[in-house]
Each structure stands twice: as structure tokens, then as C-alpha cells.
Amino acid sequence: MNSGTDTGLSQANTLFESYFGYKASHHSQAPGRVNLIGDHTDYIDGFVFPAALSLKTSFSFAKNNSNQVTAVSSGVGSETVFELNGSQVEDWGKYLAGVAWAFTEAGHTLSGLDIAIHSNVPTGSGLSSSAAIEVAAARAWRKIDNLDISDVELALLCKKAENDYVGIPCGILDQFACSVPDIGQAVVLDCKSLDYEVVSIPSEWLFVVINSNAQHNHDDSGYETRVKECQAIAEALGLEGLKGLRNLQADDAAKLSDATLQKRARHLFSENARVELAKTAMQSADAKHFGELMTESHISLRDDYQTSADAPDELMDACISFEGCHGSRITGGGFGGCVVSLINKKDKDAFVKHVLAQFPQGSYEAEVSA
């Protein structure tokens, strides 16, 4: 599972040396994540079921004895430069500046850094490259400035960065999944209490992540629209804001007069329930049931929550048409990106071949297994 580690770090090291002209003194990394089931349930304080991937974002860095951060990232044309506590950063550096801002708000004093980044987490594909860069940045400052911050606190600070600095109203799923579990671990997380349980993946199971290569774009604001719709549901039902939707009941959707909000509520209730059922299915090694829940989840995201898109729908159809595929679903915030499927390990090559023959614009991205 860790085969990418050395490669990522050595590429970040090489980039650092060629860009800054000296050797980096420190390193940090954070993984991308795949959400196995439970999407759009985090910001309503519900349940999610992610696994940390072996895909990683790697930082090589050193103190630069200034109040400034200069960062360069392979695959991104331009460097980013900002003052700690300075003005709002507009380019990709906002993910780093946001973390610096959240740490400073929490009372920590940070060093100025030179940073080189190399990542193999694809951006805008639902595998949480944004949380990976945030958590790798947070780990960098935690390490170099000897900050006493737990992994859970670190995730919360990164969420604050993405919510209040970058401006995405996401829940805790991504930052938690990139900060807390070990690589390859699948965890069920209660987004209210932040209690989580590691669930062992049965030995013959394999989750395969295929990228539709149709990227989502947060600027399209579909995500924000869903959050606003959730607020409208809570208001209509007299629940206490977004977090109150955790307690949605099966018959609540029917109480809403707006047909769109009814569909949204149906997804939230059913998806939340599916996480608990999926946990039981994994614990009892019931691949058939786990897969059925994944497929139900995709249909719910496609038809009720309407956060899928043509490319992931077609890709999901290609995945599910493989005879040994137990189930398949879009993963992450949606509007494009990756599809995760449950198959048996022995079927991997045949599965990938089948899917890419039917959906040639797709590409194999990652896998998770015991």
C-alpha cells in the first residue's frame, strides 16, 4: 500500500532543491481518501464511511526565516507567495494560507516556510486533494513548530480553513479521513461526536476507484446549493439548522411541500441509514449486501440528491455491468470525478479491462483492500 511514499517524497525533494537551490530540512505527507458510502451526510452531522488511500500529497519544506510562505507544486504552473497573517490569497495557495490562518486563529505561532509539493491525488475528482494538501500543510507546521495538536484537532482546523478561508461549506469527512485513519483503513465516523470505528475489510474484498476524468468545479456552486437546500429543509421542518437533519425520520420528506426538497431529504435520510447497514455488511463479510447499498447510494445521489453527472453515471453503468461487481457508486462531493466499486480481488484485472473497454475516457486511479 505504501509504494507511492518514497516516490512522492523524492519528487518533492527534487523539486525543492531545483526551485529553492538548497535541500529541504523536513517532510510531511497526507493521503487522499475514498468515501465508500455516506455522501453529503457529513455537514448534517450524520455518518460517513471513508478509507484513506495510498495516493498522497507530499511536502518537502524548510524554514525560510521570514514571515512569508513560498510554495511550488509540481503540475501547477505558478508558485504561490503569501505573508502569514497577510491579505487574502486568491490562487491555489489559499489552501495553505487558509491552514496558516486557522492555526493562527487558534493561537499558534507559525514559521515562514519554503515548500515544494508533489501529489498523486487527482484534483477535482472526489478523492479530496484539497484536504490532502491542507492536512499535509498542517502536519508541516505541527512538525516544524512543535505544536501540540492531535490528529482530530488538526482535521478540525483544516475544515475551518476550507469553510471560512477557502469558502467551501464542507463537513468534516475529507479532513478527518485525510488526517486520522492509517493508509488503507476504512472507518465509520459519527460526524457529530467524531467517534469513529475502524472496520476491517474482508480479505477477499477489493474496492477499485476508477476516474471518469470529468472534473467537478466548486465554482459551479452545486455543493453550496445543496447546503442551502438542507438549510431550507431544516427550516421547513422546524429542526435546528443543518445539524438537526441528522435526526431526519423516514416520513419527514413527505411533510415538505417542495418536491425538490422532498428528494433531497429522502437522500439524506436513506444515505445516513445506509452507512450503518454497510458497516454491518462489512463486519459480516456480506459483499452482496454492501454492494447493493453502494448501488442504492449511487441511485439516490443521481436521482434524489442530483449530485452525479453524465460521466460518472455512464462509468457506474460500465462498472456494474461487470458480472462480479457487487456494487458501484460515485464517491465524494459529486458533479464529476471518481466511481468506487466493490469486487473480489481475483477479478481485478478483468474488471478494470471490462470497465475501460466500455468507458475508454476513464482511468484506474486507486484501490483499497485488507
Active site residues: 174
| Residue 125 binds ligand ADP, judged by CB under 6 A | yes
Using CB under 5 A, which of the segments 31-39, 66-74, 127-135, 255-263 binds Mg ion? 127-135
What are the C-alpha distances in Å from 345 to residues 96, 212, 241?
Answer: 38, 22, 43
Pairing of strands 205-211, 338-344: antiparallel
| Residue 35 binds Mg ion, judged by CB under 5 A | no
| Residue 130 binds Mg ion, judged by CB under 5 A | yes
The upper half-sphere exposure of residue 300, i.e. CA atoms within 13 Å in the direction of its Cβ, equals: 24
Give the CA angle between residues 250, 254, 256 to the nearest 5°: 120
Nearest-approach distance from CB 172 to ligand ADP, in angstroms: 14
The secondary structure element, H or E, covering residue 359 is none
| Residue 38 binds ligand ADP, judged by CB under 6 A | no
Using CB under 6 A, which of the segments 123-131, 274-282, 296-304, 352-360 binds ligand ADP? 123-131
Residue nearest to Mg ion (CB): 130
Q: What is the DSSP string of 248-270?
A: --TTTGGG-S-HHHHHHHHHHHH
Do 29 and 58 form a contact (C-beta atoms < 8 A)?
yes
| Residue 128 binds ligand ADP, judged by CB under 6 A | yes
Cα dihedral value 357, 358, 363, 367, nearest 10: -100
Binding mask 202-241 for ligand ADP (x = CB under 6 A): ----------------x-----------------------
Which one of Mg ion, ligand ADP, none is in contact with 73 (Cβ closer than 5 to 8 A by kind)?
A: ligand ADP
What are the C-alpha distances in Å from 347 to residues 15, 78, 102, 223, 290?
Answer: 38, 42, 45, 35, 17
> By C-beta, is 134 or 304 nearer to Mg ion?
134
The upper half-sphere exposure of residue 313, i.e. CA atoms within 13 Å in the direction of its Cβ, equals: 11
Nearest-approach distance from CB 246 to ligand ADP, in angstroms: 23
Pairing of strands 113-119, 68-73: parallel
Interface with ligand ADP: number of residues (CB under 6 A): 18
Binding mask 81-120 for ligand ADP (x = CB under 6 A): -----------x--x---------------------x-x-
- Match 512538525 to its residue by C-alpha cell: 143
Residue 304 identity: D
| Residue 287 binds ligand ADP, judged by CB under 6 A | no
Nearest-approach distance from CB 103 to ligand ADP, in angstroms: 18
> By C-beta, is 52 or 62 nearer to Mg ion?
52
> By C-beta, is 68 or 123 nearer to Mg ion?
123
Query: Where along the sequence are the contacts to ligand ADP (CB under 6 A)?
Result: 57, 73, 76, 92, 95, 117, 119, 123-130, 133, 218, 332
